Chains A and B, each alone.
Chain A
């Protein structure tokens, strides 16, 4: 597989094309902005009791990552969310293997050189909010 195809694995391209709960939700309990000032990527995360939505503008990687994150976190308590987020961010940061079959696409730092910020964008934003 070429390096390009490793970044843009089928699952990532598919997820970005058909993102999970990609719609604006006015009146949600909480709204968080995940913003990367370097590239202008900007997603709003809409958190409600039972479901999570997002909307906005970003690259394939950040969009897919946000979408996967919501799939993984929906229905979890804040405490559980934070644990999953921390574990994921740690795996990215320390280049550990990822057990979660869905998130495994982001394994191997080398592949995503220059694009790690895109992966962690929504995760970091939500983590900050949950830790408040």
Chain B
């Protein structure tokens, strides 16, 4: 039986703030003790640089690093895992590398519901950028997307779960649409990496990009999961230590393995933390976790609508995220009020200005649930919203 109060005990932040309703998980998640311990243990017992260390401590550190890579590939059922600095870093690296293999007349397709970090890096390239619409319910408009794709479409890069609306996009359908085309398919899995391992493992895409900090892991570390054949086409992202076979004054030979995508000393302790993150996730029934967070979001939507609060969109397939506006009450005032009730939420455009424009608003308040939230959190939020309306009324 899924029990969020047992789960909450794994997250020491709630020992310090027992009354905190943390509903800002789409921004970043709290960390379980095994992840915190793994990072601290790494520094206490394994700290040494990786890459061809000969002494025992270095070998131990190297093992942790490589085992984490393997574990990531197994966990998500993907061929290769490259460590990056985060989702944003991963997409920027991909966009820059891909730009070197595009033709002038190639076009790139994204959607209206992208986080800016999956929009701006593509805008910065000199290729035509096509933007697939979303429906009023906040779902990806697959028919419109299909109509944008032609023989010159070389990249399709889409968000898996909208960080603002919570909609879960059916990207397997997009993968089918692209089957047989000479087109790179990239998935921004920032919001799905935590619980949607099953669907990530099934989506046939060239690359998946996400950051550890949104999946109970450390900040400062990202992951790029990719097909070997896709990576083979790309130049290295950055150049530096740990990636060459032979260096001359004017020229260098690069290694063929994925180390050529990881220049310099990687975030070692964070990688150790990531190993523990996956171990933690392996101990959960992720299907139940998805159902739990979804049911909290549904309950919140229903309760808010009963008291006349407008939620953005109405996605067919909803994760644990709900955005709302409160009429005359400005989202930042709402967030300050909720803070006074120990409820942590985010107000703003959530780096999705195209979504804000679609709904003709400037900002919203976003509630995003994780597995340590429960129905009492939803009740507290709804009660607080009621008193907020009186306060500012």
Interface residues of A (CB under 8 A from B): 2-4, 7-8, 13, 38-42, 57-61, 114-115, 118
B250 at the interface (CB under 8 A from A): no
Residues from chain A with Cβ under 8 Å of B339 in the complex: 114
Name A117's closest neighbour in chain B (CB-CB).
B332
8 tightest A-B contacts by CB?
A40-B362, A59-B330, A4-B340, A59-B332, A40-B363, A60-B333, A59-B333, A39-B348
Q: How far is the CA of A59 from the CA of B331 in the complex (A)?
A: 7
Contacts of A58 in B (CB 8 A): 330
Contact A39 B363, beta carbon cutoff 8 Å: yes
B336 surroundings in chain A (CB, below 8 A): 4, 7-8, 114-115
Q: Which of B332, B337, B391, B392 contacts A39 (CB 8 A)?
A: B332
Q: Is the CB of A61 within 8 A of B340?
A: no
Whole-angstrom distance between the Cβ of A57 and the nearest chain B Cβ: 6
B349: chain A residues at CB < 8 Å are 38-40
CB distance from B305 to the nearest CB of A (A): 24
Other A-B pairs, 4, CB within 8 Å; known A58-B330, A59-B330: A8-B391, A40-B348, A40-B363, A115-B336
User: By the criterion CB–CB under 8 Å, are A61 and B347 in contact?
Assistant: no
**A57 contacts across to B, CB distance below 8 A:** 362
Closest partner residue, chain A, to B337 (CB atom): A4
CB-CB under 8 A for A39 and B333, given A2-B340, A4-B340, A60-B392: no
Near A by CB (< 8 A), chain B positions 301-354 give 330-333, 336-337, 339-340, 347-349
A38 proximity list for chain B (CB < 8 A): 348-349
Which listed residue (A2, A4, A42, A118) contacts B332, Cβ 8 A?
Answer: A118
Contact A41 B362 (CB under 8 A): yes
Secondary structure of the B side of the interface? Answer: helix
Does any Cβ of A come within 8 Å of B355's Cβ?
A: no
Q: How far is the CB of A60 from chain B (nearest CB, A)?
A: 5
Residues of B within 8 A of A3 (CB): 340
Q: Contact string, B138-170, partner A, CB cutoff 8 A, digits 1/0?
A: 000000000000000000000000000000000
25 A-B residue pairs with Cβ-Cβ distance under 8 Å, sorted by A, are A2-B340, A4-B336, A4-B337, A4-B340, A8-B333, A8-B336, A13-B392, A38-B348, A38-B349, A39-B332, A39-B347, A39-B348, A39-B362, A39-B363, A40-B348, A40-B362, A41-B362, A42-B362, A58-B330, A59-B331, A60-B333, A60-B392, A61-B332, A115-B332, A118-B332
Q: Is the CB of B330 within 8 A of A60?
A: yes
- CB-nearest residue of chain B to A3: B340
| Alpha-carbon gap, A118 to B335, bound state (A) | 13
Question: Closest approach, in angstroms, between the C-beta of A106 and any C-beta of chain B?
Answer: 14
Q: What's the minimum C-beta distance from A55 to chain B, rounded to whole angstroms?
A: 14
Task: Please tell me if B129 contacts chain A, counting CB pairs below 8 Å.
Answer: no
CA distance A41 to B391 in the complex (A): 21
Give the nearest-CB partner of A63 in chain B. B330
Please tell me if B356 contacts chain A, counting CB pairs below 8 Å. Answer: yes
Expressed in whole angstroms, the Cα–Cα distance for A58 and B348 within the complex equals 11
Query: Contact between B362 and A61 (Cβ–Cβ < 8 Å)?
Result: no
Binary flags per residue of B353-393, CB closer than 8 Å to A gives 1, else 0? 00010000011000000000000000000000000000110
Q: Please give, as numbers and ranges, the residues of chain B lying within 8 Å of A61 by CB-CB distance.
A: 332-333
Q: Which A residues lie within 8 Å of B392 (CB)? A: 13, 60
CA distance A39 to B339 in the complex (A): 17
How many angstroms from the CA of A114 to the CA of B348 in the assembled complex?
13
Shortest distance between the CB of B163 and any CB in chain A (Å): 16
Residue-wise, chain B 116-133 has the 8 Å CB interface mask toward A (1 for contact) of 000000000000000000
> From A115, which residue of chain B is reached at the shortest CB distance?
B336
Please, how many angstroms separate the alpha-carbon atoms of A34 and B108 in the complex? 34
- Nearest CB on A from B360, distance (A): 12
B392 to chain A, nearest CB (A): 7
Closest to B347 in A: A39
A58, chain B: closest CB distance, angstroms: 7
| Docked complex: B231-278 residues within 8 A CB-CB of A | none
User: In the complex, what residue of chain A is closest to B330 when comparing beta carbons?
Assistant: A59
- A86–B379 Cα distance when bound, in Å, is 45
CB-nearest residue of chain B to A7: B336
B330 to chain A, nearest CB (A): 4
Question: For the complex, what is the distance from the CA of A61 to the CA of B340, rounded to whole Å?
Answer: 16
- Measured between beta carbons, the chain B residues less than 8 angstroms from A39 are 331-332, 347-349, 362-363
Give the residues in chain B near A13, CB-CB below 8 Å. 392
Contacts of A41 in B (CB 8 A): 330, 332, 362
